[in-house]
Amino acid sequence: MKIKPQHIAGQALAYTAFAVVIAYFSASPSYIHHPPDAALLKLSLTHAGQRVDDCKERTAEELAKVAPNMRTKQSCGRERNAVTLEMDIDGKPVYRHTAKPAGLSGDGRSRFYDSREIPAGRHVIRARMRDGNNPDVFDYDSEIVVDLKPRQVFVVDFDEEDKKLSFK
Amino acid sequence: MSNPIKTALRNGLFRVESGWDALVGRESNPMYCLGAMSWYFFWIVGASGLYLFIPYDTSAARAWDSIQYISTEQWYWGGMIRSLHRYASDAMVLTMMLHLLREWLIDRYHGVRWFAWFTGVPLIWMVFASGVTGYWLVWDELAQYLAVGTAEWLDWLGIFGQSIARNFLNREALTDRFFTLLIFIHIAVPLFLLFAMWVHILRINRANTNPPRPLVIGATLMLVALSLIYPAQSHPPADLDKATSVLNPDWFFMGLYPLYDTKGPAVAWAVAVGASIFLSLMPWMAFRRKRRKPAQVSPPNCNGCGVCTFDCPFGAVVMRPRQDESGHQKIAVVQPDLCTSCGMCMASCNRTNPFLPSQKHETGIDIPDFSFDLMVKRISARTHGLVGEGRVMVLGCEHGSVLDHLKGPSVGVLALHCTGMLPPSLIDYILNKDLADGVLVTACRPGECFYRLGPEWTELRLAGQRVPKLRGAVPRDRVRLSWAASTETKALAADLAAFRAALADLPKPERPETTKRRVAE
């Protein structure tokens, strides 16, 4: 199949236009995801609330009723408390969420995720979390003063080993 | 087609295609083979991807370096392959979306075509998933943006045991194992895509998955030149301790991400899933579409030659063993769910011949809504009373130019379901019986057939290159084939006028008295 001479210029033009469209939209126009002078504050943690019911010691009679391989001394309910998490920046509340525990039996972890831009500079960040049965008390409460740089990612998490809210 | 916006868009499409034909030549116009172009770009992406897997380092610390090395130190080969990989992917998205738009505009998405349309929707998801996971592998700032955005987007569903976004909280959170998983996904999804592409064309007979050679050569040269002149570049390496800021996204793949950034995951999911469901259900939303009765086989007239099975564009006719006393080993069987009633099978049948002695023109396979007998009668009726020099019978497609505009004292017209349902023997019949001085066959341009393959089969049959052939004794200067889209009625009228002028210059054919005009009614 021969290409007619009058089509050669047309094809050159068409292929150039095709290439320009591909080249341009493969990397243009630019997009600003976060302003270059802002920092990013991420709150991300998964935490299992305390059990709703306290563990009970089983009596000898109760132990005899269960199968031999399941005769543990304590009987513990599976359900856990919902976890409430709050965060303030420079004294202003910016986040408040109560997350139910995961799982059909409500025995899993509660999950939190938040990502927000924050002007670079000095800020007071306070986070508090309730995972127990008392609705009037926050079981964990921490505060930090940070000097955030432009584009810095600052993460609020929970350190399960040390059992405290962490800032890094 | 009742939607005026769609009609206007379709007419615009045909005009663009006409202009493009004039510019580059018909065989180099990609608009007629957008699906095949997507296949071709897929193979380029696959081949270049296989090569890129060799130098790629699947670790968070060295992934960016390994890509950067081939892009800068080996720009003439490794860098070019990387750019080919990217630009062919972009070209695939472009041709795929144009293919979708064009099939909708030409109304090729409902009826028996529901399967190809419906199975095409998951392909869009797979193409985008393949592309996005590929961009992750570079592990630059753009990859970081995509990784975090996609993870947050998926986490919103709440169906994953662990938060995916926590993998990207900071440098320590990211592991090399995650990159091994990523490359597995980036290879597995395109393999599924290939399988799904095969399913997509499963119900299409002679599906075109290879573009014409001029297009293959042209597109390849274009991609190679683009890769060398404007090679793909990485952003600075990803740093999870630093927020992404100014990015240069590949908009062919990443158009939905800013929507997620500004409106949140619920809206982004609603748009993506809503659009997919809407697209998937479109074949059943084409209301007021009257479905014609499928083709019917007449066992006494079917000799089991099988030509109809070769010509059916959707594989709706199959041959089955025959055990009656006809002496024929096989019989054609129509699968009604696949039949579009285009009539190409009827035209291909060697019994579809008006010269065969019969009270009623019977054939081996017929279209109930527009039987061969009816076709012969209509031709006889519409040529009856034609007067003057250059009497012409125009036979064309109801989806092409408006034939009624061509009607006149010397011109009769008949619109068929598709020009492909015209048996060449009927042209012979018209001229032989002196029903007209010439026959103008008009068909939609190849690639624009509402059914598929009608113009191609017509051209080959008239040229004597495909059975049933137009008999060699039929004077070719009295038969003209004219391509015309629905927007080209004026051009067709001009072609008709030129044809009639040419007919007037021809000497009157001498006919024996017995073959003079004989109206069939």
pLDDT in tens, chain A (168 residues): 567 888 899 999 999 999 999 999 999 999 999 999 999 999 998 999 998 888 888 898 889 988 988 888 888 888 999 999 999 999 999 999 999 998 888 888 999 999 999 999 999 999 999 998 888 899 999 999 999 999 999 999 999 899 999 998
Number of Cβ atoms within 10 Å of the Cβ of A90: 11
How do strand B330-334 and strand B317-321 relate by DSSP bridges? antiparallel
Picking from A10, A27, A38, the nearest residue to B23 by CB comes out as A10
Number of Cβ atoms within 10 Å of the Cβ of B218: 21
How many DSSP H helices and E strands does chain B contain?
Answer: 17, 9
Query: Distance (Å, rounded) from C-alpha B28 to C-alpha B219?
Result: 10
Between chain A and chain B, the number of residue pairs with CB atoms below 8 A apart is: 121
Interchain contact B165–A (C-beta under 8 A):
yes
Nearest residue on chain B to A14, judged by CA atoms?
Answer: B24
Distance from CA of B231 to the nearest CA of A (A): 9
CA atoms in the 13 A half-sphere facing the CB of A22? 31
Picking from B22, B165, B241, the nearest residue to A44 by CB comes out as B165
Query: Distance (Å, rounded) from C-alpha A98 to C-alpha A82?
Result: 7
Interchain contact A14–B (C-beta under 8 A):
yes
Picking from A15, A33, A153, the nearest residue to B170 by CB comes out as A153
Nearest residue on chain A to B247, judged by CA atoms?
Answer: A31
For position B173, what pLDDT does the model report?
81
Picking from B24, B226, B258, the nearest residue to A31 by CB comes out as B258
The A residues from 136 to 155 touching B (CB cutoff 8 Å) are: 151-153, 155
Residues B168, B147 contacting (CB under 8 angstroms)? yes
How many DSSP H helices and E strands does chain A contain?
Answer: 2, 11
Distance from CA of B412 to the nearest CA of A (A): 36
Phi, psi of A41 (to 5 degrees): -105, 120
Distance from CA of A74 to the nearest CA of B (A): 28
Query: Distance (Å, rounded) from C-alpha B87 to C-alpha B231?
Result: 9
Nearest residue on chain A to B92, judged by CA atoms?
Answer: A22
Query: Distance (Å, rounded) from C-alpha B324 to C-alpha B307?
Result: 21
Interchain contact B221–A (C-beta under 8 A):
yes
Three-state secondary structure string covering B408-469: ECCEEEEEECCHHHCCHHHHHHHHHCCCCCEEEEEECCCCCCCCCCHHHHHHHHHCCCCCCC
Fold for domain B4-285? Cytochrome Bc1 Complex; Chain C (1.20.810)
Interchain contact B86–A (C-beta under 8 A):
yes
What is the distance of C-alpha B511 from the center of its chain? Answer: 45
Nearest residue on chain B to A8, judged by CA atoms?
Answer: B24
Residue the block writes with tokens 């012409």: B392
Encoded tokens for B367? 């279209």
Encoded tokens for A103? 């799982």
Q: Which residues of A touch B170 (CB under 8 A)?
A: 153, 155, 168
Nearest residue on chain A to B219, judged by CA atoms?
Answer: A15
The sign of the CA dihedral B346, B348, B353, B357 is negative
Interface probe, candidates B245, B246, B251, B253, chain A, greatest A C-beta count within 10 A: B245
Helix then strand then coil, % of chain A, to nearest 5: 20, 45, 40
Query: Distance (Å, rounded) from C-alpha A127 to C-alpha A85?
Result: 7
Picking from B24, B241, B249, the nearest residue to A7 by CB comes out as B24
Contact B152 A113 (CB under 8 A): yes
Torsion angle defined by CA atoms of residues A124, A125, A126 and A127, in that order, rounded to the nearest 10 degrees: 180
Domain edges within chain A:
38-52+80-167
Which residues make beta-bridge pairs with A19?
none
Encoded tokens for B259? 């929507």
For position A145, what pLDDT does the model report?
97
Picking from A19, A28, A155, the nearest residue to B170 by CB comes out as A155
Interchain contact B151–A (C-beta under 8 A):
no
Which residues make beta-bridge pairs with A126?
A88, A143
Interchain contact B243–A (C-beta under 8 A):
yes
Residues B327, B303 contacting (CB under 8 angstroms)? no
Nearest residue on chain A to B249, judged by CA atoms?
Answer: A27
Give the class (CATH, top level) of A38-52+80-167: mainly beta
Instruction: From residue B28, give the alpha-carbon distance in Å to each of B34, B226, B478.
Output: 12, 19, 30
Picking from B166, B218, B245, the nearest residue to A11 by CB comes out as B218
Q: Which residues of B touch A159 (CB under 8 A)?
A: none
Encoded tokens for B198? 């095969």
Burial B423-462 (b: 16+ CB within 10 A, else e): bbbbbbbbbbbebbbbbbbbbbbbbbbbbbbbbbbbbebb
For position B372, what pLDDT does the model report?
96
Burial B47-61 (b: 16+ CB within 10 A, else e): ebbebbeeebbbbbe
Interchain contact B261–A (C-beta under 8 A):
yes
Contact A153 B86 (CB under 8 A): no
For position B306, what pLDDT does the model report?
95
- What is the DSSP secondary structure assignment for residue B370, as one 8-state letter? G
Which residues make beta-bridge pairs with B366?
B296
Q: Which residues of chain B have pLDDT under 70?
A: 1-2, 511-521
- Of B45, B260, B254, B236, the C-alpha closest to B138 is B236
Largest CA distance in chain B: 98
What is the Rg, in whole angstroms, of the alpha carbon atoms belonging to chain B? 29
Contact B169 A42 (CB under 8 A): yes
For position B106, what pLDDT does the model report?
92
Which residues make beta-bridge pairs with A143?
A126
Interchain contact B250–A (C-beta under 8 A):
yes
For position B291, what pLDDT does the model report?
83
Residue B306 neighbours by CB under 8 Å, 6+ apart = B319, B330, B332
Picking from B218, B226, B244, the nearest residue to A34 by CB comes out as B244
pTM over 0.80: yes
Encoded tokens for B170? 């900071």
Contact B246 A30 (CB under 8 A): yes
Interchain contact B159–A (C-beta under 8 A):
no
- Of B48, B23, B145, B230, the C-alpha closest to A22 is B230
Distance from CA of B245 to the nearest CA of A (A): 5
Nearest residue on chain B to A41, judged by CA atoms?
Answer: B243
Is the backbone peptide bond immediately before A29 cis, with ω within 30 degrees of 0? yes
CA angle B202, B204, B209 (to 5 degrees): 85
